[in-house]
Amino acid sequence: MSSNVPIQGSNITAPTPQNTPLNHAPIAAGLSRPTVPDITEDKEEDNDDDDDENALRGHALAMVQGKLAGLIGKSSGYLESLPVEVKRSVEALKGVQVKQNEIQNQYKKECLELEKKYLAIQKPLYERREAIINGSAAPTTEEIEEGEKQSLKDDEDYSPLPKDAPSGPTAIPEFWLTALRNHIGLAELITERDEAALKHLIDIRLSYLDEKDHDGKPGFKISFIFTSNEFFENEVLDKSYLYQDEVGYSGDFVYYKAIGTDIKWKEDKDLTKEYEIKKQRNKSMSFFRILAYIR
């Protein structure tokens, strides 16, 4: 997934911190092969036929896609066929929509300010969470009891923990790696090689960008905090998302661009590349391609 790529012409709904997708994946177009193969006497000839058939399918698909692409933005002729008085009404509707967009724009900006306000209110809880995860503070009896109440609501068969269990600060090993592996949108991006680096991930933090620093465009940043590791020099990997100035037709902010970190990889440790015996580097699927500043 590339970064630092402006998407100025699109109307793709932007992610917000409350509902952040990994990406907006395009619908992959393709024609499926038959589930039941043809029965032929000559196996080699069958393979050749398959190759020819695949080539024809590919050409046909390319032609269809080209035709469809050429229709984008073209009028169907319906509006042109309307009487002038009806066209005036259509233009009036556009004028009403402009005013509605202005109100929606203000609404979304106020929602963003509200998100900022409540992020600040929750900050002490996030700091407390970090301390418990990393073992720098021990959980309180009240926190444990509240957690057990919730566990009982979620599972009627839940058994409370023994009261005489030893207490004290205890880190939760590989907490963030486990959380990311169980995230439906991220799990498939994490390779076995990524896991070794993600074991060093100790916190994920959200912050909002100062619009003055980005030509008045709103946005937010997600920071991934790491301990010292064998893969890269950075202690923090950031990913920032900027919105366009106005909301789209869906009523939500629209992507402007994403900005990733220039990851300082240690020698032969770049997880976004595959190293072959001859040290030839090839692009590889990796969680860290999301975070990287990709040139």
What digits encode the pLDDT tens for the residues 9-51? 444 444 555 544 444 333 333 333 333 333 333 444 455 555 5
Question: Does residue 30 fall inside a structural domain?
Answer: no
Q: Are residues 150 and 181 in the same domain?
A: no
Res 241: pLDDT: 94
Q: Are residues 91 and 211 in the same domain?
A: yes
pLDDT at 247 over 90: no
Question: Does residue 7 fall inside a structural domain?
Answer: no
Question: Does residue 231 fall inside a structural domain?
Answer: yes
Res 74: pLDDT: 67
Q: Is 57 left (phi over 0), alpha (psi -120 to 50) or beta?
A: alpha
pLDDT at 276 over 80: no
Query: Is the distance from CB of 206 to CB of 119 less than 8 angstroms?
Result: yes
pLDDT at 152 over 70: yes
Res 233: pLDDT: 96
**For 256-276, what is the mean pLDDT?**
87
Q: Are residues 183 and 116 in the same domain?
A: yes
Res 154: pLDDT: 95
Of 64-73, 182-191, 214-223, give the lowest mean pLDDT range: 64-73
- In degrees rounded to 5, what are phi and psi of residue 167? -110, 160
Question: Does residue 6 fall inside a structural domain?
Answer: no
- 203 vs 227: CA distance, rounded Å: 10
Res 71: pLDDT: 57
**For 114-122, what is the mean pLDDT?**
97
Residue 133 confidence class, pLDDT cut points 50, 70, 90? very high
Average pLDDT, whole number, for the chain? 79
- 212-251 burial string, b = 16+ CB within 10 Å, else e? eebeeebbbbbebbbeebebbebeebbbbbbbbeebbeee
The full DSSP string for the chain is ---S---TT--PBPPBTTB--S--PPPPP--PPPSSPPP-S-HHHHHHHHHHHHHHHHHHHHHHHHHHHHHTT---STGGGS-HHHHHHHHHHHHHHHHHHHHHHHHHHHHHHHHHHHHHHHHHHHHHHHHHHTTSSPPPHHHHHHHHHHHHHH-TT--PPPTTS--S----TTHHHHHHHT-TTTGGG--HHHHHHHTTEEEEEEEEPPGGGGTT--EEEEEEEE-S-SSBS-SEEEEEEEEEEEE-TTSSEEEEEEE-B---BPTT--TTEEE-TT--EEE---THHHHB---
Q: Are residues 184 and 56 in the same domain?
A: yes
Question: Does residue 75 fall inside a structural domain?
Answer: no
Question: Does residue 16 fall inside a structural domain?
Answer: no
- In degrees rounded to 5, what are phi and psi of residue 30? -175, 165
Q: Are residues 283 and 161 in the same domain?
A: no
pLDDT at 84 over 60: yes
Which comes out higher in pLDDT, residue 114 or 244? 114
Question: Does residue 101 fall inside a structural domain?
Answer: yes
Res 54: pLDDT: 64
Question: Looking at the chain, how many residues does it have?
Answer: 295
Residue 142 confidence class, pLDDT cut points 50, 70, 90? very high
Show the domain range for 150: 140-170
CATH of the domain at 216: 3.30.1120.90
Nearest Cα to 176, choosing from 232, 226, 127?
Answer: 226
Specify the number of domains making up the chain. Answer: 2
Last residue of a domain, one of 117, 151, 170: 170
Q: Are residues 197 and 215 in the same domain?
A: yes
Q: Are residues 161 and 127 in the same domain?
A: no
Q: Are residues 190 and 111 in the same domain?
A: yes
Q: Are residues 147 and 105 in the same domain?
A: no
Of 91-100, 144-153, 176-185, 248-257, give the lowest mean pLDDT range: 248-257
Side-chain-side CA neighbours of residue 41 (13 Å): 0
Q: Are residues 185 and 151 in the same domain?
A: no
Q: Are residues 100 and 185 in the same domain?
A: yes
Question: Does residue 238 fall inside a structural domain?
Answer: yes
Against a cut of 0.95, is the pTM above it? no
Of 63-77, 122-136, 208-222, 247-261, give the lowest mean pLDDT range: 63-77
- 69 vs 66: CA distance, rounded Å: 5
Q: Are residues 131 and 146 in the same domain?
A: no
- 171 vs 28: CA distance, rounded Å: 43
163-208: pLDDT as tens digits: 887 777 899 999 999 999 999 988 998 999 999 999 999 999 999 9
